[in-house]
Structures are given as structure tokens and as C-alpha cells.
Amino acid sequence: MVVFYPNSAIHAKTLDLKNSLSQTLTQYYSFAGRHAKIASAYVDCNDEGAEFLEASVNGTLSNFLQNSLHEDLDQFFPYSDRVIPFAVQVSHFECGGMAVAMSLSHKVADGTSLTQNMDFRLIRGFLPFENINMNFVGLSIESSNHSITRSFVFPNSKMNKMKNNIKSTTAESGRPIANPTRVEVLNWLLYKCSVAAATKNSSGSFKPTGVCHQMNIRNKMIEPLSKNTIGNYYFSMEILTKNEREINETQEAKDANPQSKKMVSNTSGASVLEEKQRTIDETETCMFTSICGYPAYGIDFGW
């Protein structure tokens, strides 16, 4: 995640970031360790520290944000050795604006944890799990020269129109969806467009397609956790679409998914998903995630 700040005489506060990070790492001690080379799913808490980089950017922040092609966001991220769980990069623009970016290993914590930790302050630490047999490879997205990044803006008026269309369409089918969320509506739209494009590229032949969405389950466990709990507490909701008719049934699958209310382990459903993963890996898969509702705009580092 990268956050941008306009010029507000904060150049001198880079030292404050380093100091607060070092204090926070005494609590989030695994972030300051290293992934074990023999068993990379484990962290050797050896206090070697997180990586902190500084960089200078030619140009102003406003010019960058107005003309960004999105692929140029990569320059702000502290891509480091994979054995380092946590790295930070502070980039200074000519105008005095700043970009603060963090990379956190998913083997240590999830996106919710990253958002919480970006304030460099202790909220709540890790929950201990003494015996976890985690034999789960997980998901990986390899870098590719064919990867592109695009940004699409949906005005509220268009969002409301899509919501109303879904309400009326599902009501006519006898299986009404009364209040679809923004995330559900946009996921459905993007998924439908992706499937249509893939079908066109396959000479009009529909191929079974998978859709995968990550869900934060801190408030969905039998004993709900604090929303600030650090770790991997997410569930990967996976749905296989065998034909075009099933594209409209993703919301029903979400509501009927019993696992979304029964997860009780820090392994985040890894064993539950193992069989599903073998099935969905054989198809074209669309993966979705969202930070809507996350306290991203509250990340001010005390400024």
C-alpha cells in the first residue's frame, strides 16, 4: 500500500517515522525477523529489523497524480529480498510532497493488518497458536510483462443505477437481492465483462470460470476478534461458474457459504480450501479484493 501526502513541511518528519517504526517493531517482533530459508512459512525472530528506504522523485506530487499511468506506482515500493517480511519506502517529491509505501509478507499478516500497522503504533498484537500444521501452498501471482494496471471511476449515480438493476432483475427471478453492496455490484460487473471478453477470445465458446474474493473474517468467527488483531484472518470465497447463467448467482453463494461464519483458526481456512483450490486452478480465475471500509484515510502518522 502507498499513501500520498501534499507538502506540509513534513520533510523533517522522516526521522519521526524511523523512530516510531523502531518502537512499534518491538511489539510486532516478527516483522523485524527473517523468513527461514529452509521453512519459508516460518519467521526467525532474530531482530535484524525492517528495511527502510528513502528516494527522490523528479517532479511534483500533483503532476504525478494527474498524469500517472498506474504502472509507474511500482517505483514507490520497497521491493526487497523475499526473506524480509516488512519494508518501508519514503519518496520525496520536488514540491515537498511525500509518498509512504509499505510491503508486508502475506505469510505474516493480511491486508487488514497492513492498514492497521501503517500508523506505526501498537493497537493489538498477535494471538498465539502453539500447534498449527500448515501444509498450504497458497496463491501467487507472478510478475509478467503482459500485466497492466488500469483505473476506472464509477460515479454514485451509475452505482445506484446498477444496484437498482440488480434489485429489479433478481426480484423478477423470484430470488431477490434486497441490498447489494458497492463491492458486490462492481465485482459482478467486472467479472461479467471479463467472462464476456474471454468468451469472445475463445471464438464464442464459454469456458468454466472461477471467481475468488478475499473476506476479512475477524468479526465472523465464533468468538469475534478485535478488528485490529494482527495476523492472517481472512477467508477466500471461491465460486466456480460452469455456465453463463451462474454468473448471476454469486451473491446467493456468498449468503449460503457456511464457512464464512465458522472459521476459528489463524490458518484462515487453508485446509478447507485445499480441495477447492485444485478445482479452481484448472479454470480461468478472476481474483477480487477491496479496501472499502478500511481506515485508509485515517493513516496520518500523527501529522
C-alpha closest to that of 223 among 169, 264, 254, 259: 264
Sign of CA dihedral 20, 23, 24, 25: positive
Q: Cell numbers of 153, please?
A: 471511476
Task: Note every long-range contact of 107-110, with CB atoms under 8 Å and residues 24 or more positions apart, other chains counting.
Answer: 107/35, 107/40, 107/41, 107/43, 108/30, 108/31, 108/43, 108/232, 109/230, 109/231, 109/232, 110/214, 110/216, 110/231, 110/232, 110/233, 110/234, 110/268
- The rounded distance, in Å, linking the Cα atoms of 296 and 118 is 9
C-alpha closest to that of 294 among 111, 110, 86, 106: 111
| pLDDT at res. 131 | 55
Q: Cell numbers of 112, please?
A: 487488514
Residue 104: its H or E element: strand 98-104
Sign of CA dihedral 260, 265, 269, 274: negative
**Which ranges of the chain have pLDDT less than 50?**
251, 256-276
| pLDDT at res. 244 | 73
- The rounded distance, in Å, linking the Cα atoms of 285 and 301 is 37
Can you give the pTM of this predicted structure? 0.76
| All domains in the chain, ordered by first residue | 2-108 (3.30.559.10), 156-296 (3.30.559.10)
Q: What angle do CA 249, 252, 258 make, to 5 degrees?
A: 135
| pLDDT at res. 265 | 35
> What are the phi and psi torsion angles at 268 (to 5°)?
60, 40
- The rounded distance, in Å, linking the Cα atoms of 11 and 34 is 30
Sign of CA dihedral 206, 255, 183, 121: negative
Report in angstroms the alpha-carbon separations of 201 from 144, 151, 205, 207, 288. 20, 23, 8, 11, 22
- The rounded distance, in Å, linking the Cα atoms of 121 and 300 is 11
**Are 136 and 271 spatial neighbours (Cβ–Cβ below 8 Å)?**
yes
| pLDDT at res. 275 | 44
The radius of gyration of the chain's CA atoms, rounded to the nearest angstrom, is 21
